[in-house]
């Protein structure tokens, strides 16, 4: 897949709210532009799409934040701007997004979530090699989000995407890398797990919060708890998955307990060993980052930190209750 270089993302020219010299995406990367409201994510995406700023790059499909439906049926809007091959694909995608039975109604009678899914089907059906999506999960019910995210991932089919999100969970399930946008500039860019656990400064830390994202594969589950293979281990998380599929396990640093020795009593499955790679102050607490294959962040009080005699490079065990971890589906396992 070709690399795409977006240059001089600057708008408005006199007093820029967005000022990014260069943003390169490629290699099937799903880059989430993440940041608080008003940070300039949407403006940056519009500049990449060329709906502002003058440059109209080829080979870019773009889903605006509030997709507009023109007079006519959902179907006529679904097919708008697509060639015959793309139309066929759009119909298949409409089926996968669960809106194929709504295509013959007037577009304006669709609900917000239905509109977003029709617009997603149209955008993803395009044969453009870069896909730009602005908050694609925002109007959806929580229960629809995982399925929609999975369908988006499958429909991208190895193409690169830039996805705007202000919501951590959506960012985590949609993307594989993250660019934190603050005041119109990219403050940090890296793999999602990396940025969420090791923000480069307190501004990024404030924006992303502290969170852990472990990418694994669900194996079996009973509908409430699911076993997830991650870094050669099996961990148990809350999740409704019952069959083999890719998941991300999300949990906050406050849910992680730190031990020097293998703890008694705790379910041995969710005990993870590693070495401390970083120690930071977060308000009155300390945050330690433990390298367990993936980085895992844990919040700890200064008192415990003293008692446990922790240092950079210390070997520790982390334990997390299964119910404190949420497994979200992100696609079929290979």
Partner 1 sequence: MDFLFDAFGEAADFLRDSSGELGAVVGLTLLVAGIATVVAVALGVPLGITLGLGRFRGRQVLLTFVNVGMGIPPVLVGLIVLMILWSDGPLGSLDILFTPTAMVIVQVFLALPIAAGVTAGAVSSLSRDAVEQLAALRLGTVRRGTVVVREVWPGVTAAIAASFGRVVSEVGAVLIVGGNIKGETRVLTTAIVQETRQARFGAALALGLVLLVIAFIVTGTLTWLQSRERTDA
Angstrom distance (rounded) from CA 101 to CA 94: 9
- Please identify which residue in 2, 22, 38, 66 interacts with partner 1, judged by CB under 8 A: 66
Q: Does 85 engage in binding with partner 1 (CB under 8 A)?
A: no
Measured between alpha carbons, how far is 248 from 140 in angstroms, rounded to an integer?
19
180 token code pair:
């934190």
What is the smallest separation between the CB atom of 325 and partner 1, expressed in angstroms?
A: 38
**Could you tell me how many residues of this chain bind partner 1 (CB under 8 A)?**
20
CA separation for the pair 265, 257 (Å, rounded): 13
Angle at 163 between CA 188 and CA 214, to 5 degrees: 65
Which is nearer to partner 1, 70 or 158 (by Cβ)?
70
Strand partners, 332: 245
Distance separating alpha carbons of residues 30 and 160, to the nearest angstrom: 6
Q: Is position 103 an interface residue for partner 1 (rule: CB under 8 A)?
A: no
Long-range CB pairs of 222-230, under 8 A, 24+ apart, other chains included: 225/322, 226/327, 227/269, 228/327, 230/293, 230/294
13 sits near partner 1 (criterion: CB under 8 A): no
Q: Which of 107, 149, 213, 214 binds partner 1 (CB under 8 A)?
A: 107
Binding-site member from 18, 34, 48, 73 for partner 1 (CB under 8 A): 73
Give the nearer residue to partner 1 in terms of CB position, either 71 or 142.
71
Contact flags string 25-54 toward partner 1, x per CB under 8 A: ---------------------x--xxx---
Q: Is 129 in the site for partner 1 (CB under 8 A)?
A: no
Contact positions vs partner 1 (CB under 8 A): 46, 49-51, 56, 62-64, 66-68, 70-73, 80-81, 106-108
């Amino acid at each position: 897949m070709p690399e795409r270089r977006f240059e001089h993302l600057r708008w408005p020219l006199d007093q820029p709210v967005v000022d990014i010299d260069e943003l390169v995406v490629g290699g099937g990367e799903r880059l989430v532009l993440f940041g608080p409201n008003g940070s300039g994510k949407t403006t940056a995406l519009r500049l990449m799409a060329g709906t502002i700023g003058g440059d109209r790059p080829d080979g870019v499909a773009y889903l605006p934040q509030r997709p507009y439906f023109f007079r006519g049926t959902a179907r006529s809007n679904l097919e708008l701007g697509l060639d015959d091959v793309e139309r066929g694909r759009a119909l298949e995608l409409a089926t996968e997004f669960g809106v194929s039975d709504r295509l013959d109604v007037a577009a304006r009678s669709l609900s917000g979530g239905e509109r977003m899914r029709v617009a997603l089907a149209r955008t993803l059906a395009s044969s453009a090699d870069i896909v730009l999506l602005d908050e694609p999960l925002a109007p959806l019910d929580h229960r629809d989000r995982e399925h929609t995210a999975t369908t988006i991932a499958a429909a991208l089919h190895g193409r690169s995407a830039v996805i705007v999100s202000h919501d951590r969970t959506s960012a985590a399930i949609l993307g594989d890398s993250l660019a934190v946008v603050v005041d119109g500039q990219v403050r940090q860019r890296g793999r999602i797990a990396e940025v969420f656990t090791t923000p480069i400064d307190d501004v990024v830390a404030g924006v992303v919060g502290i969170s852990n994202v472990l990418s694994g594969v669900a194996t079996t589950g009973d509908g409430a708890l699911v076993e997830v293979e991650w870094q050669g281990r099996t961990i148990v998380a809350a999740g409704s998955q019952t069959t083999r599929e890719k998941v991300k396990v999300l949990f906050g640093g406050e849910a992680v307990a730190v031990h020097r020795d293998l703890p008694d009593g705790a379910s041995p499955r969710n005990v993870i060993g590693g070495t401390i790679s970083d120690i930071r102050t977060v308000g009155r607490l300390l945050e330690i980052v433990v390298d367990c294959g993936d980085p895992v962040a844990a919040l700890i009080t200064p008192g415990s930190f003293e008692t446990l005699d922790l240092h950079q490079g210390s070997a520790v065990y982390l334990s997390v209750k299964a119910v404190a971890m949420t497994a979200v589906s992100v696609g079929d396992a290979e």
